[in-house]
């Protein structure tokens, strides 16, 4: 029961942060960016292979320093998407850490069939912040050293998958915003995949 109350409070807090962000009452700075890259499946954690990009933001709100980590994923080969957000307030007396994972939010929602993902705070934060972040120096600088694949031993099936090829193309062309759109819009992702075959 106590955990349910805490989870509810965290959802309310994240929702308030999302609302303030959408209304431009919080000015987030994009401090770091991990460019579009391929992560092989992890047998230990049962994590499937995916393409992802990650952003780290910081802001001051009501005198407190907040950090926001945001990661967008497209699983390979399923094409399923996911989004994770971690909000941290690093203050000894008022420490706060909230994790929100889209797939978990949808799995625990009682009306998940009808749930509009655009109403979820993590999605609202991503849709507001990523289009602004892609114009920053942090993103431009990260693409200067970006390498799409940094692992060895990846299966040929995964390497030859069209989603993997799309991720590599978007990385090499520095198209962080297109990857972001592909995460939340299947039709957009399908158009990008069709471009590969032209």
Query: In this model, does residue 148 exceed pLDDT 50?
Result: yes
pLDDT at residue number 170: 96
CA–CA separation, 151 vs 33, rounded Å? Answer: 19
Calculate what percentage of the chain has a pLDDT beyond 70: 90
Average per-residue pLDDT for the chain: 90
Query: In this model, does residue 193 exceed pLDDT 70?
Result: yes
Lowest-confidence segment of 33-47, 104-118, 128-142 by average pLDDT = 104-118
pLDDT at residue number 56: 98
The pLDDT-based confidence of 115 (bands split at 50, 70, 90) is low
| Tens digits of residue pLDDT in 57-99 | 999 998 999 999 999 999 999 999 999 999 999 888 889 999 9
pLDDT at residue number 91: 83
**Cβ contact 38:49 at 8 Å:** yes
Cα dihedral sign for 138, 150, 184, 15? negative
pLDDT higher at 23 or 9: 23
Lowest-confidence segment of 37-51, 155-169, 184-198 by average pLDDT = 37-51
Lowest-confidence segment of 134-143, 148-157, 166-175 by average pLDDT = 148-157
In 3-state terms, what secondary structure has residue 108?
helix
Helix ranges (H only) for 23-120 are 102-108
pLDDT at residue number 197: 75
pLDDT at residue number 114: 41
Say what the pTM is: 0.91
The most distant pair of C-alpha atoms in the chain lies apart, rounded to whole Å, by: 57
pLDDT at residue number 152: 84
């Amino acid at each position: 029961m106590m955990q349910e109350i805490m989870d509810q409070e965290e959802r309310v807090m994240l929702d308030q942060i999302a609302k303030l962000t959408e209304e431009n009452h919080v000015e987030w700075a994009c401090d770091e960016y991990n460019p579009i890259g391929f992560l092989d499946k992890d047998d230990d954690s049962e994590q499937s292979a995916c393409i992802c990009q990650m952003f780290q933001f910081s802001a001051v709100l009501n005198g407190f320093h907040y950090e926001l980590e945001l990661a967008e994923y497209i699983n390979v080969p399923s094409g399923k998407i996911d989004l994770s957000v971690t909000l941290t307030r690093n203050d000894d007396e008022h420490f706060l850490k909230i994790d929100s994972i889209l797939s978990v939010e949808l799995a625990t929602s009682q009306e998940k069939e009808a749930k509009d993902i655009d109403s979820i705070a993590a999605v609202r934060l991503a849709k507001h912040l990523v289009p602004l972040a892609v114009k920053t120096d942090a993103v431009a600088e990260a693409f200067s050293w970006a390498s799409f694949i940094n692992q060895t031993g990846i299966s040929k099936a995964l390497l030859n998958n069209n989603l993997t090829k799309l991720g590599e193309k978007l990385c090499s062309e520095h198209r962080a915003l297109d990857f972001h759109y592909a995460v939340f819009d299947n039709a957009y992702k399908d158009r990008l995949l069709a471009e590969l075959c032209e």
